[in-house]
Amino acid sequence: MLSFFNKKKTPGHLTVTLNAKLQPQHRFELEDAFDSVCKKQGIGASVDGGGTLMEKTGEVKECDIEIAVEDMNEKTVDQIKGVFEAMLAPIGSRITASGKSPETFGSHQGLGLYLNGVDLPAEVYQTCDSNVVYSECEKLLDGVAVVNSYWQGPTETALYIYGKDFEELARLIKPFVDTYPLCQKARVVRIA
């Protein structure tokens, strides 16, 4: 028997650190989508854990996705990066194989829309709804980006949007943000 038929697989482990502000439930959805794509494409990899790093304020900073790999090699690592880059891999994300230095990857840019939750007139909070902001942003960004996650802090509510171009995202939502009362004093921040 020729030796190339008996090529032994080398199992391994990767950590993908996404520079994305995803609440755990949104990270779980991404993990499920990753597993589904790997299964469909025959990539020998699956999620076996994860975590969310929080800022002192309670806002998400970044998240880790732990991946078990059936055969650790450059091709598999490139396939895994490709899956995340197709789904969500903001600029500044990292992939780390066991015993190796992290490799930076990712191309999505991020926009955080921070709604002021304390400094607007009381009637604005009584008559407006952050769910309207969420749905309008989804409509305005249709085909370009989605609202990937959100956070409600003590003084602000944030919507996190990732896409190819921060400037385009900001331009598409600007007319709504400029006119909807709940968006007064909102901050639009580049988050990736």
Is-contact 50 30, C-beta < 8 A? no
Nearest alpha carbon to residue 27 among 67, 55, 72: 67
Q: Is 30 in a helix, a strand, or coil? A: helix
| Residue pLDDT, tens place only, 112-153 | 999 999 999 999 999 999 999 999 999 999 999 999 999 999
Confidence check: pLDDT of 106 > 70: yes
CA separation for the pair 109, 87 (Å, rounded) = 13
Confidence check: pLDDT of 19 > 90: yes
CATH superfamily of 109-190: Glutamyl-tRNA reductase, N-terminal domain (3.30.460.30)
Looking at residue 98, its pLDDT comes to 83
| Residue pLDDT, tens place only, 152-167 | 999 999 999 999 999 9
CA separation for the pair 96, 84 (Å, rounded) = 14
Confidence check: pLDDT of 1 > 50: no
CA separation for the pair 15, 62 (Å, rounded) = 13
Confidence check: pLDDT of 17 > 80: yes
Q: Is 18 in a helix, a strand, or coil? A: strand
Looking at residue 2, its pLDDT comes to 46
Tell me which of 3.40.50.2000, 3.30.70.260, 3.30.565.10, 3.30.1490.20 is the CATH number of domain 9-105: 3.30.70.260
Q: Where are the domains of the chain?
A: 9-105, 109-190
When the pLDDT of each residue in the chain is averaged and rounded to a whole number, the result is 95
